[in-house]
Structure 1
Amino acid sequence: MTLSLDYAALSDVGRVRRNNEDSAYAGPHLLLLADGMGGAAAGEVASAAAVQVVRRLDKPGISGEDMIEALAGAVHRANERLSELVEEDQEREGMGTTVTALMFDGQQLGLAHLGDSRAYRMRDGQLYQLSHDHTFVQSLVDEGRISKEEAFTHPHRNLILRVLDGRPDSDPDLEILDVQAGDRLMLCSDGLPDYVSDDVIAASMAGGTPDSVVVELITHALEAGSNDNVTCVVADVVETPPTSGTTPQLVGAAAELAQGSTGRGDTTIAVPGGRGHGGGGGGAVLDPEELRYAPRAPKRFPWLRRIAVLLVILGLIGGGGWFAYSWTQKQYYVGTDGDYVAIFKGVDADIPGIALSKVYEQQTLQVDKLPTYSRQQVEGNIQADDLAGARAIVSELQRAADECAKPTPSPTPTTKPSTTPKPTAPATSRPATAKPPTTAPTTARPSTTPSSTPGSVDPNDCDGVR
């Protein structure tokens, strides 16, 4: 069974605002709403541009999961269009818009959502919010820090975290939803739910036709004191073709700009005690819409800022590089320069295109005159604290080389005591007396290894000296 949509759309500039920054579209295959922001004339330009791009999806032949791909592509194209508009007029820098779209293939709905405009579905007398607000207050509710009731009166309930703004990170929520005959769908800008409770919205959605419901909902918002534009799109899912025809409806800023109007709303609903959609009293009043995504007010000459930021970044990189290079040029080490010992200024490191060290003083000391251990140290480079330290290292190396240059002393021959007995005198008759035993004197054999003294060089370490 193929279902159809019976729809109506209405937008009102509100009781305080002087221009309408909401845009909406309703057609046989697409329901769409965009709430612009950014101050000056940028808000209506953003919402109208987004609607004009995305409304091209209102055609048959796109169904199932293909609707998600089509919606994602349309939102990204709308984002690119906003970027182009900012490039054309830098006064539009900082503008943005919400986007909430329901694509219909006769059996399912495809949802694309970005911002704080809302999509609802009424089924069997129960109102359910299909979209998820991308706002600061909703993030507090999601984290459990405040209740949904507290969010309704929170002073920062309109601060948006994600919108379509021409920047590359503007990705929408995408979802496929079931639909059945008897469902009633509704899209609205924040001018309605910020002032009208879900119970009142549900009561209005419970009866009447789409045309009467959009009027009733906007009336409730104005009576509640809404100081914002209010826009609603309502559609009934029906089994038979709608009696009101299938002519698409375009309302709000998109319709006004297309007709070359001056910026008034599409309609003004009379409210007892109300002021219509006029601007109100004198004096400059801060437009609350400028605070919604505030965060990004229009700025002049963005290319100058980009160049300035680039120059600052390059300055920091250059300054850091120069500081690092200056530090390397205060370091010294002792190494080899060909066959000779040399003092180097800098650090022993290789960076393509940059020399971090150079010979500062070449010495007359040849590397091959050093003891093996000292030679290995020099070939691996000996770090010094400063120039004086490097010269002290060279002096120590010279002393080691001089030690190895000294001839090794030859061992001195020694006379070995004779063991041949000497002739003894003839024996006499003298009485023998006890004579204490004697031992042959011993002499210490001199060592051929010189004694080691502190700071001396081990002769064995000089074997490699040439």
Structure 2
Amino acid sequence: MTLSLDYAALSDIGKRHNNEDSAYAGPHLLLLADGMGGAAAGEVASAAAVQVIRRLDKPGISGEDMIEALAGAVHRANERLSELVEEDPEREGMGSTVTALMFDGVQLGLAHLGDSRAYRMRGGQLQQLSHDHTFVQSLVDEGRISAEEAFTHPHRNLILRVLDGRPDSDPDLEILDVQAGDRLMLCSDGLPDYVSDRQIAASMSDGTPDSVVVELITHALEAQSNDNITCVVADVVETEPVSGTAPQLVGAAAELAQGGTGRGDPTVVVRRGDGDDRLGGAAGHLDPEELRYAPRAPKRFLWLRRLAVLIVALALIGGGGWLAYGWTQKQYYVGTDGDYVAIFKGVDDEIPGLTLSNMYEKQTLQVDKLPTYSREQVEGNIQADDLAAAREIVSELQRTAAECAAKAAKQTPKPTPAPTTPTASGKPPVSTPPKTPITTPVSTPASTPSSTPDGTVNPDDCDGVR
């Protein structure tokens, strides 16, 4: 006889203001999604995931084909979340767990991403089928803490992998055996974070799927669970599926499908016990959903973000370049413009396509009227702190040129007339050219001009004046 599922699903808003859990139970599919993050979009994320993946609840998919079908459905759900964020950027950061069991009458196909859980009760033994993608589970896997310590760890709500619209949101996939008498259960973390495996096993060991989901949620509420609590329970039975059995949709997916907001009344009203927060200490004041999963660098709209970064970088470069150019236009130096000394505004440098200096004042001082040392300085440009300093340099150069010119005038020899002696004959005297004394040239070593503080030379060093 073909195996079939007898199922029930229930969701409670718990102590929260809205229900971000969504779940679905049908003849061929059990599915649970726990939404989180974003601008009040956790319920949107979980509902979208369930609405896409629930389409797998149909006959004709079996064996290894279930794995391919589950993988494709999860990826399509991931793409749907990406589309929702593009439609409303305020949803950036939303995500959802996904735990699904696909049933073909012989085997189960498991797809899992996040920290919602899948359990199987067989022969009185409770077995967790899924593996949590959480920080504390990674510590348990590494042997750094025990499973008991993970149950009370202050960061047990930190989830590392979720369905969030990013391309690396790949689920765990597995084929599982199934047999008559098995009891399957999917739940959001609002149950196992507050109810022990021992108590879960005790509740699942008896009763119908309908009574079990109520009992499990009641235990979570009495344990002061401050999260939404959602459970799907299904018995594997040796009976033909009842024709026309209606699938069950609960939580945010059901409310949004009916035009709600995901913020309605609890699915079932049960008495809540009073007591202190089980987290205790500073961690007890933190809302676990605020630390639901580790933030990751956004990967959506990469081209837009890169363009924005490029624009900012160009703006900074442009702004810095403009400030640098403004600084150059406050600088002055003394140089040459053809044969004359001139004052230039800017800096003596070149950038392709940009002029960094212009002649500001052309002087009447000729360059060749300066001694060699001063001329070389001017031709190499003399930097000045400001315009006044540049004009002072020009004044010193003019003074040097004037003093060198005066010194040269004093050293120029004047011709001496030859003396005349009258002769006895009364004839005019014969002019005898003066004898030029023969001198031996003495080689004098060239002296280096001594410069004044402004870069000009002392008037004693006037060599090279033309």
Instruction: Give the TM-score of the pair, scaled to structure 1.
Output: 0.62
| 1:307, distance to aligned residue in structure 2 (A) | 2.4
Q: Match of 1:259?
A: 258
Alignment of 1:283-294 (within 5 A): 287-294=287-294
- Relative to structure 1, the CA distance from residue 92 to residue 58 in structure 2 (aligned partners, 3 Å threshold; closer, same or farther) is same
Q: Match of 2:227?
A: 228
Gaps in structure 2 of 5+ consecutive residues = 276-284, 318-466
Q: Match of 1:78?
A: 77
- Relative to structure 1, the CA distance from residue 310 to residue 198 in structure 2 (aligned partners, 3 Å threshold; closer, same or farther) is farther
Q: Match of 1:128?
A: 127
Are 2:21 and 1:2 equivalent residues in the alignment?
no
| 1:40, distance to aligned residue in structure 2 (A) | 2.9
C-alpha distance in 2 between matches for 1:258 and 1:310? 42
Structure 2 SS opposite 1:163: coil
- Relative to structure 1, the CA distance from residue 153 to residue 60 in structure 2 (aligned partners, 3 Å threshold; closer, same or farther) is same
C-alpha distance in 2 between matches for 1:139 and 1:294? 13
Which amino acid is 2:5 matched to? L
| 1:299, distance to aligned residue in structure 2 (A) | 12
C-alpha distance in 2 between matches for 1:102 and 1:142? 24
Where relative contact order (Cα < 8 A, 6+ residues apart) is larger, the structure is 1
Structure 2 SS opposite 1:232: strand
Structure 2 SS opposite 1:8: strand
Q: Match of 1:186?
A: 185
- Relative to structure 1, the CA distance from residue 190 to residue 313 in structure 2 (aligned partners, 3 Å threshold; closer, same or farther) is farther
| 1:274, distance to aligned residue in structure 2 (A) | 5.8
Gaps in structure 1 of 5+ consecutive residues = 276-284, 318-466
Are 2:144 and 1:116 equivalent residues in the alignment?
no
- Relative to structure 1, the CA distance from residue 102 to residue 310 in structure 2 (aligned partners, 3 Å threshold; closer, same or farther) is farther
Which amino acid is 2:56 matched to? L
- Relative to structure 1, the CA distance from residue 241 to residue 68 in structure 2 (aligned partners, 3 Å threshold; closer, same or farther) is same
Q: Match of 1:147?
A: 146
Structure 2 SS opposite 1:75: helix
Alignment of 1:260-299 (within 5 A): 260-262=259-261, 263-273=263-273, 287-295=287-295
- Relative to structure 1, the CA distance from residue 305 to residue 176 in structure 2 (aligned partners, 3 Å threshold; closer, same or farther) is same
- Contact 1:48–1:257 (Cα < 8 Å) also in 2: yes
Task: Provide Cα deviations, 1:73-128, integer angstroms capped at 9, x if missing partner.
Answer: 00000000000000000000000000000000000000000000000000000000
- Relative to structure 1, the CA distance from residue 203 to residue 242 in structure 2 (aligned partners, 3 Å threshold; closer, same or farther) is farther
C-alpha distance in 2 between matches for 1:179 and 1:99? 21
| 1:288, distance to aligned residue in structure 2 (A) | 3.1
| 1:272, distance to aligned residue in structure 2 (A) | 4.9
| 1:260, distance to aligned residue in structure 2 (A) | 1.2
Q: Match of 2:248?
A: 249
| 1:13, distance to aligned residue in structure 2 (A) | 0.3
Which amino acid is 2:88 matched to? D
Q: Match of 2:454?
A: none
- Contact 1:93–1:297 (Cα < 8 Å) also in 2: no
Q: Match of 2:65?
A: 66
- Relative to structure 1, the CA distance from residue 63 to residue 219 in structure 2 (aligned partners, 3 Å threshold; closer, same or farther) is same
- Contact 1:5–1:237 (Cα < 8 Å) also in 2: yes
Structure 1 SS opposite 2:154: coil
C-alpha distance in 1 between matches for 2:293 and 2:224? 22
| 1:261, distance to aligned residue in structure 2 (A) | 1.8
C-alpha distance in 1 between matches for 2:25 and 2:143? 36
C-alpha distance in 1 between matches for 2:243 and 2:181? 17
- Contact 2:116–2:186 (Cα < 8 Å) also in 1: yes
Task: Provide Cα deviations, 1:255-308, integer angstroms capped at 9, x if missing partner.
Answer: 010111242245133215469xxxxxxxxx974313202426999998764423
Structure 2 SS opposite 1:167: coil
Which amino acid is 2:309 matched to? V
| 1:41, distance to aligned residue in structure 2 (A) | 1.9
- Relative to structure 1, the CA distance from residue 313 to residue 211 in structure 2 (aligned partners, 3 Å threshold; closer, same or farther) is farther
- Contact 2:2–2:240 (Cα < 8 Å) also in 1: no
Which amino acid is 2:199 matched to? V
Alignment of 1:150-161 (within 5 A): 150-161=149-160
C-alpha distance in 2 between matches for 1:89 and 1:82? 11
| 1:242, distance to aligned residue in structure 2 (A) | 5.4
C-alpha distance in 2 between matches for 1:6 and 1:106? 12
Q: Match of 2:307?
A: 307
Task: Provide Cα deviations, 1:37-67, integer angstroms capped at 9, x if missing partner.
Answer: 0043210000000000000000000000000
Q: Match of 2:373?
A: none
Are 2:17 and 1:18 equivalent residues in the alignment?
yes
Structure 1 SS opposite 2:9: strand
Task: Provide Cα deviations, 1:147-182, integer angstroms capped at 9, x if missing partner.
Answer: 000000000001010000000000000000000000
Task: Provide Cα deviations, 1:185-241, integer angstroms capped at 9, x if missing partner.
Answer: 000000000000000000000000000000000000000010000000000000013
Alignment of 1:43-62 (within 5 A): 43-62=42-61
Q: Match of 1:174?
A: 173
Structure 2 SS opposite 1:85: helix
Q: Match of 2:456?
A: none
- Relative to structure 1, the CA distance from residue 245 to residue 182 in structure 2 (aligned partners, 3 Å threshold; closer, same or farther) is farther
C-alpha distance in 2 between matches for 1:45 and 1:65? 31
Structure 2 SS opposite 1:186: strand
Q: Match of 2:41?
A: 42
C-alpha distance in 1 between matches for 2:300 and 2:165? 17
Identity %: 88
Structure 2 SS opposite 1:141: helix
- Relative to structure 1, the CA distance from residue 288 to residue 302 in structure 2 (aligned partners, 3 Å threshold; closer, same or farther) is farther
- Relative to structure 1, the CA distance from residue 272 to residue 66 in structure 2 (aligned partners, 3 Å threshold; closer, same or farther) is closer
Which amino acid is 2:122 matched to? R
Which amino acid is 1:97 matched to? S
Structure 1 SS opposite 2:234: strand
- Contact 1:93–1:299 (Cα < 8 Å) also in 2: no
Q: Match of 2:94?
A: 95
Are 2:220 and 1:237 equivalent residues in the alignment?
no
C-alpha distance in 2 between matches for 1:121 and 1:244? 26
C-alpha distance in 2 between matches for 1:17 and 1:204? 24
| 1:312, distance to aligned residue in structure 2 (A) | 7.0
Structure 2 SS opposite 1:24: strand
